[in-house]
A and B are shown apart, each in its own frame.
Chain A
Amino acid sequence: MISKEVVVQNQVGLHARPATFFIQKANEFKSSIWVEKDERKVNAKSLLGVLSLGISKGTKITIIADGTDEEEAVNAMVNLINSNFSEQ
Chain B
Amino acid sequence: MENPSFFVTLKQVIDDFNLENVSNMDDTDKIKIITPDVNRPGLPITGFFDYFDANRIQIIGKVETTYLQKITSQQRYESFDKLFSRKIPAVIITRGLEVFPEITETAEKYKIPVLRTNQSTSRFLSSLIGYLHHWLAPRITQHGVLVEVYGEGILILGESGVGKSETAIELVKRGHRLVADDAVEIKKVSETTLIGCAPEIIRHFIEIRGIGIIDVKKIFGMGAVKDAEKIDLIIHLELWKENKQYDRLGLVDEYTNVLDIDVPSLTIPVRPGRNLAIIVEVAAMNHRQKKMGYNAAEELNQRLMDEIGKGGL
Interface residues of A (CB under 8 A from B): 16, 27, 38-43, 45-49, 51-54
Contacts and interface: CB of A to CB of B under 8 A. Distances in A.
Nearest to B205: A48
A52 B160 contact: no
Contacts of B202: 48-49, 51-52
B43 to A, nearest CB: 35
B5 A46 contact: no
Contacts of A49: 141, 143, 182-183, 202
A42 B5 contact: no
Interface residues of B, number: 19
A19 B210 CA distance: 16
Nearest to B185: A40
A47 B207 contact: yes
Nearest to A39: B5
A32 to B, nearest CB: 9
A43 B160 contact: yes
B232 interface: no
Contacts of B6: 39
Nearest to A45: B160
Given A47-B182, A52-B141, 18 more contacts: A38-B5, A40-B199, A41-B140, A42-B141, A42-B183, A43-B143, A43-B160, A43-B182, A46-B143, A46-B160, A46-B183, A47-B207, A48-B181, A48-B206, A49-B183, A49-B202, A52-B182, A52-B202
A68 B171 CA distance: 35
A64 to B, nearest CB: 13
Given A48-B202, A48-B205, A54-B201, A39 B3 contact: yes
Contacts of B206: 48
Contacts of A43: 143, 160, 182-183
B226 to A, nearest CB: 17
Best-surrounded residue of A47, A48, A49 (most CB of chain B within 10 A): A48
Contacts of B185: 40
Contact of A52 (B5, B183, B213): B183
Nearest to A48: B182
Interface string B190-203: 00000000110110
A8 to B, nearest CB: 16
Nearest to A54: B201
Contacts of B183: 42-43, 46, 48-49, 52
Given A38-B5, A39-B5, A41-B141, A46 B201 contact: no
A51 B181 CA distance: 12
Given A41-B141, A52-B202, A54-B201, A46 B3 contact: no
Nearest to A51: B202
Contacts of A51: 201-202
B5 A40 contact: no
Interface in B196-253: 198-199, 201-202, 205-207, 213
A48 B206 CA distance: 8
Contacts of A52: 141, 182-183, 198-199, 201-202
